Structure 1
């Protein structure tokens, strides 16, 4: 990418069919921005969960996504995964549905995930949210909220709830790219009324 060689639009590099990435979402890593998939951990095909990331997201270096394949059985005395080593131990393999499965991990549009944050399985992060650096996101994040910490908690809302709802209904990220380009000054401003006017034009 011109001027920022450490940044890569990752939709162009992801090959796993269970990782879905929207247009213009980038990963920033001076060592290997094209190797984003290495940060999606325990994502085994037999589990079937998906990582879905919206459009225009900014994902900082070292952000990792833990997927459902990391979960161990917790219903017995031991959580050790004996079955993966064979030699008769596969006889204690968990039955279908016995392992915790929290569903797909879904990141909305225009989300900024800060340096070395960790997103746990099944979390949904709303449109326009910001995740502070080195946060551990263990539960859903509302649209246009700023979260941080371990576990991540809401630090503040970027906009009042009614304004956030208006922004979600405008959904500028779904506009044709020519329209986005035409109205960039308004998109980066704080003028929601003006953005609504652009949406109607």
Structure 2
């Protein structure tokens, strides 16, 4: 056995290029028609299309986000897919030659491309703040994922996920609450995800050392 140390990490918190207040986008990533907040990260081979990534949200290797609002401090693991597009099931064929006829040299124009696009765009996904989406999970069109929720690795989320709820499976089902109702209510009153950077820095020791209940008791009444 020989010791091996090869290559560089692509993530800015581990790699040679530090994070910055401006969005950090890996050179292999694609970001189109989207907006990004401060301290956001888009990792290797990720795609972000027609979406908003709020402050501190990050996504790592090979994750795709389409037509979604991703809340502050969202944690998106590798190979996650948010809002994979559906096909027009009401038609005689599912194939895209019907709405991309020009590309297939079947018509001079993509006459009804707007119909399909508008249908897809109407199913925007909403991801709340402080959400963790595990490796290779899929969040289907039109779903809302609540504040502080956790989606287990490999899950397929077809229905809305409540605040501070852990779901997993295919289709995703509720496993348990992340915190008690009282702690949830306190955290939602505190809204630490809206704190200024100075407030976050001042509270970092409490974020590290206190569990959710103790944190809620210190900054609110439960």
- Distance change (3 Å), C-alpha of 1:89 and 1:196: farther
Mapped contact 2:168–2:175 kept (Cα < 8 A) = yes
Change (3 A) 1:99 1:58: closer
Instruction: Give the gaps of 5 or more residues in structure 1.
Output: 30-34, 44-49
Q: Which residue of 1 aligns with 2:45?
A: none
* Higher RCO (C-alpha 8 Å, min separation 6): 1
List runs of 5+ in structure 2 lacking aligned partners.
1-10, 26-30, 35-49
Matched, 1:24 2:86: no
Q: Which has the higher helix share?
A: 1
Q: Residue 4 of structure 1 aligns with which residue?
A: 14
Q: Matches of residues 25-104 of structure 1 in structure 2 within 5 Å?
A: 25-29=57-61, 39-40=64-65, 43=66, 50-67=67-84, 70-83=85-98, 84-86=100-102, 87-88=106-107, 93=112, 96=115, 99=119, 102-104=122-124
CA RMSD of aligned residues (A): 3.3
Runs of 4+ in 1 over 6 A off after TM superposition: 6-10, 89-92
Compute the TM-score of the two structures, normalised by the length of structure 2. 0.67
> Relative to structure 1, is the Cα distance of residues 24 and 95 closer, same or farther in structure 2, using a 3 angstrom cutoff?
closer
> Match for residue 168 of structure 1?
188
Is this contact kept in 1: 2:157–2:172, CA < 8 A? yes
Superposition TM-score, scaled by structure 1 size: 0.73
Q: Is the 8 A contact 2:190 2:219 kept in 1?
A: no
